[in-house]
Amino acid sequence: MIEKYRAPLAFLVMALLLIIVGFGQSWSVALGIINLCIISAIMALGVNLQWGYAGLFNAGVMGFTALGGLTAVLISHQPIYEAWSSAGSGILLSGFILISSVLGIYFVHKKIEKILLKRILIISIIGITLFGLNIFYGPSISIIESINPAKTGFLGGLGLPIIVSWLVAAFVAGFVAWIIGKITLGLRSDYLAIATLGISEIVIAVLKHEDWLSRGVKNVTGLDRPVPYEIELQETTWFIDLIASINASKLQAVQILSDRQDILNKLVIDGSSIFVKLCYAGLFILVLLIIYFLSHLALQSPWGRMLRAIRDNEDAASAMGKNIVSKHLQVFVIGSAIIGIAGAMLTTLDGQFTPGSYQPLRFTFIIWVMVIVGGSGNNLGSIFGGFFIWFMWIEAEPLSIAFISLLTNGLDYNSPVRMHLIASAPHLRLFIMGSILLLALRFMPQGVIPEKVSKE
């Protein structure tokens, strides 16, 4: 009986927690948390697809998130025509050389039988490629990076609306996942973990150091927005009227006209920030619902049932004639594509792309905690995990500072021990995350909302 109410109960508790933040701190903070909760939930859905449905350990969530972020920049930023006209051809040529050499190596690897000839050919292709890149790539990037380095210094993007990038990000992340999957999925399961861990570090390294592509650690700021700006809202009449009509009674109570105007101004400023966050939340919830709905359908379909069969018994599924590696590749690509979408959404929400801020603990392993705690294999569980763990991640910091302050109450205010403990308190949230993960694995291995096994 209780099983049936687990999911509604879990979400009710979550809603209550958010409402407490809304009243206790502010609605703007609560909405800020909710927006990131939704993005986390989407990432958790992607990981759940890979881990919960198919049992694949993807330790490179951060890399796919960052790829999504890069896509957002490349789609939405205005193109830098000057850079394109002076060095675009060099970059395109380098790209052409790289792609053709990869194809060449692939061709040689597949078609040439003689080992010695094969090795000589591969080594010479690599040599020619390095030589070609040395001629075209190096000079081009230094030209691009020298054009107005303080403001641009990169190629820019396509200048399309940023929402487009959410879709494109799925393809970019999916394509990279396809390459990794091709290499590692046939091998033992833990190699996938190591390989994805590696690829995510490499993606971040590329984004940090290839300034012509992503401006590197100089960051790209002021990205296009799918929702109105606060400043514009504060000057639009309909919005001011809206705020005034919502707070009509409050404004009526104020007698002096100038005071009333001041209060209205303040309300409009607060309201604009909340309105913008609500717009984001609306968009994000739409994406979340679409992805949830599709994942749910996929899980119910023969495809989803087959994946679970493979997960639970590879040998039996293989004996039934299922190609395990190719199914794993499919689910790995789709899951990574979803993570890519979430990455693009995250960059959209931030309005900036900062390669230096991608940390594996924050972007890979926290997502794992979400999936495990929420309930592997259950999409609702992953959404709940995304909300709950993100909420804890945000609120753990003030909580641990409060806890440490309480603990060190007896100490002298300026004692070095107290100072050190207070300064280190924010690191406790990693401790809290680790404890939640270990406790969940030990006492609730199925998660808060366990996987439903349909028996038909």
Partner 1 sequence: MENFEILNALILLANFVIVPAISYGSQLAIAALGITIVYAVLRFSNFAHGDLMSFGTMTAILFTWLFQSLGITGGVLPTALIALPFAIVVTALLCLLIDKSVYRFYRKQKSHAVVFMIVSVGVMFILNATVRFIIGPNDRTFFDGEKFLIRALDFKASTGLEEGLTIKSTQLITVIVAIITMLLLFYFLQKTKMGKAMRAYSNNEDLALLSGINPDRVVMITWIIVGALATIAGVLYGLDKSFKPFTYFQLLLPMFAAAIVGGIGNPIGAVVGGYIIAFSEIMLTYAYKKFFIYLLPEHLEPSGLTQFLSTDYKFAISFIILVIVLIIRPTGVFRGKTI
Which CB sits closer to partner 1, 290 or 439?
439
Q: Are 40 and 370 in contact (CB under 8 A)?
A: yes
Q: Does 11 bind partner 1 (CB under 8 A)?
A: no
Binders of partner 1 in range 418-437 (CB under 8 A): 423-424, 427-431, 433-435, 437
Which CB sits closer to partner 1, 113 or 456?
113
Helix axes 366-374, 428-443, angle to 10 degrees: 30
| Binding-residue pattern over the window 67 to 86 for partner 1, x denoting contact by CB under 8 A | --------------------
Q: Does 161 bind partner 1 (CB under 8 A)?
A: no
Question: What letters, b where the CB count within 10 A reaches 16 and e where it falls short, cover 64-85?
Answer: bbbbbbbbbbbbbbeebeebbe
> H or E stretch including 437?
helix 428-443
Q: Does 214 bind partner 1 (CB under 8 A)?
A: no
Which CB sits closer to partner 1, 105 or 306?
105
- Measured between alpha carbons, how far is 397 from 385 in angstroms, rounded to an integer? 19
Q: What is the DSSP track for 330-356? A: HHHHHHHHHHHHHHHHHHHHHTSB-GG
Binds partner 1 (CB under 8 A): choice among 102, 202, 320, 407: 202
Which three-class secondary structure state does DSSP give residue 375? coil
Binds partner 1 (CB under 8 A): choice among 55, 68, 88, 447: 55
Under DSSP, the state recorded for 216 is G
Supply angle C-alpha 280, 284, 289, rounded to 5. Answer: 150
Q: Does 360 bind partner 1 (CB under 8 A)?
A: yes
Binds partner 1 (CB under 8 A): choice among 187, 246, 419, 422: 187
Q: Does 349 bind partner 1 (CB under 8 A)?
A: no
Binds partner 1 (CB under 8 A): choice among 8, 124, 209, 235: 209
Question: What letters, b where the CB count within 10 A reaches 16 and e where it falls short, cover 137-158?
Answer: beebbebbbebeeeebbbbbbe
Minimum distance between the CB of residue 188 and partner 1, rounded to whole angstroms? 8
Q: Does 230 bind partner 1 (CB under 8 A)?
A: no
Binds partner 1 (CB under 8 A): choice among 42, 72, 199, 389: 199
Number of residues engaging partner 1 in binding (CB under 8 A) = 44
With CA atoms as reference, report the closest residue to 77 among 268, 214, 172, 274. 214
Binds partner 1 (CB under 8 A): choice among 142, 149, 158, 190: 190
Q: What is the amino acid identity at position 88?
A: G
Backbone φ and ψ for 449, nearest 5 degrees, come out as -115, 95
Q: Does 119 bind partner 1 (CB under 8 A)?
A: no
Contact footprint for partner 1 (CB under 8 A):
55, 57, 59, 130, 134, 138, 183-184, 187-191, 193-195, 197-199, 201-202, 205-206, 208-209, 360-361, 365, 368, 372, 423-424, 427-431, 433-435, 437-438, 441-442
